[in-house]
């Protein structure tokens, strides 16, 4: 789900181009997804959360002028709300992937750890990149722009161990 229909269209076009047929998209407010779909309806969910975008600052330098300290705590609340909704949507043993395009530890690790603390029926799944890439594995993936000369991003994953 995305608030913006044009972004949903981009996701659909990219999925089609890549040959992915299992992706379902919808325009709407992800913070109201349980109201829309009901609980325990999905096997897999990706929450590519709205974030500060600090990982793409090289491509979007205006970010450094548009973000305030309050934005970071506000964004984390939105991220936690989206993750909470996603957890309710998952079937038992379902997998939830949480990602951002930021390098801010509060939005990334902080949000993932808060989510786990507030949702004891969810467990962390170890996520890692191949050792040959030389990144330290902490069970979460944090890539910084300087690591590969691209964007910075964060990925974490969780499994639902019981019904919520």
Write out the catalytic residue numbers. 101
Termini Cα distance of the chain: 21
- Quickly count: other Cβ atoms within 10 Å of residue 138's Cβ: 12
In sequence order, the 6+-apart residues with CB closer than 8 A to the CB of 125 are 95, 157, 158, 159
HSE-up of residue 87 (Cα within 13 Å, Cβ side): 26
| 3 alpha-carbon distance from chain centroid | 15
Q: Is the dihedral of CA 58, 13, 129, 44 positive or negative?
A: positive
Q: Can you give the C-alpha Rg of the chain in angstroms?
A: 16
Query: Which is nearest to 50 in space by CA: 6, 82, 91, 21?
Result: 82
């Amino acid at each position: 789900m995305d608030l913006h229909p044009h972004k949903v269209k981009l996701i659909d076009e990219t999925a089609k181009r890549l040959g992915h047929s299992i992706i379902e998209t919808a325009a709407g407010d992800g913070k109201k997804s349980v109201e829309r779909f009901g609980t325990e309806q999905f096997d897999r969910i990706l929450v590519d959360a709205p974030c500060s975008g600090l990982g793409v600052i090289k491509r979007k330098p205006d970010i450094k002028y548009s973000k305030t300290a309050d934005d970071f705590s506000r964004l984390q609340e939105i991220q936690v709300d989206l993750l909470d909704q996603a957890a309710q949507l998952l079937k038992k043993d379902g997998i939830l992937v949480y990602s951002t395009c930021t390098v801010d530890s509060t939005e990334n690790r902080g949000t993932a750890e808060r989510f786990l603390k507030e949702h004891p029926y969810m467990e962390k799944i170890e996520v890692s990149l191949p050792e040959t890439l030389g990144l330290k594995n902490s069970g979460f993936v944090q890539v910084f722009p300087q690591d590969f000369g691209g964007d910075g991003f964060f990925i974490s994953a969780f499994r639902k161990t019981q019904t919520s």
